[in-house]
Copies of this chain bind each other. A is one copy, B any other.
Amino acid sequence: MARKIMRHTIQVTLEKNSYPVSVGSGLLQEPAIFMPHVHGHQVCIVTQKNIADFYLAKVLSAFSEYQCGVIFLPEGEQHKNLTEWGKIMTILLEKGHDRSATLIALGGGMVGDMTGFAAACYQRGVNYIQMPTTLIAQVDAAIGGKTGVNHSLGKNMIGAFYQPQCVVADIDTLQTLPPREFHAGLAEVIKYALIRDIDFLDWLENHIADVLSRKKEALLHMITTCVSHKAALVTADERDHGVRRLLNLGHTFAHAIETLSSYESILHGEAVAMGLCLAAQHSVNLGWLTTTDLERIQSLLLTCHLPCELPLHLTLEQLMTAMKKDKKNQHGKLTLILLKKLGEGVCV
Cβ contact within 8 Å between A89 and B151 = yes
Contact with B along A8-42 (1 / 0, CB 8 A): 00000000000000000000000000000000110
Cβ contact within 8 Å between B330 and A124 = no
Contacts of A90 in B (CB 8 A): 151, 153
Residue A86, interface by CB 8 Å: yes
Cβ contact within 8 Å between A40 and B330 = yes
Residue A249, interface by CB 8 Å: no
Listed stretches A46-54, A96-104, A228-236; interface member: A96-104
Main secondary structure of the interface of A (DSSP, over half): mixed
Cβ contact within 8 Å between B93 and A151 = yes
Contacts of A159 in B (CB 8 A): 121, 123-124
Residue A82, interface by CB 8 Å: yes
A120 to B98, CA, bound (A): 22
Cβ contact within 8 Å between A41 and B151 = no
Within 8 A of B (CB), among A129-152: 146, 148, 151
Cβ contact within 8 Å between B151 and A327 = no
A100 to B330, CA, bound (A): 6
Residue A192, interface by CB 8 Å: no
Contact with B along A320-335 (1 / 0, CB 8 A): 0000010111111000
Name which residue of chain B comes closest to A118, CB basis: B158
Contacts of A98 in B (CB 8 A): 327, 329-332
Residue A72, interface by CB 8 Å: no
Cβ contact within 8 Å between A331 and B41 = yes
Residue A122, interface by CB 8 Å: yes
A161 to B99, CA, bound (A): 13
A-B contact pairs, 15 of them (CB 8 A): A40-B330, A82-B86, A93-B154, A94-B153, A98-B329, A100-B330, A121-B148, A121-B160, A123-B158, A123-B159, A124-B148, A124-B160, A124-B240, A125-B161, A160-B160
User: Which 7 pairs between the two chains have the least Cβ-Cβ distance?
Assistant: A93-B153, A123-B327, A100-B330, A124-B159, A82-B86, A121-B158, A98-B329
12 A-B pairs besides A124-B148, A160-B160 with CB distance below 8 A are A82-B89, A89-B151, A89-B157, A93-B154, A93-B325, A99-B327, A99-B330, A100-B331, A121-B148, A121-B158, A124-B146, A124-B159
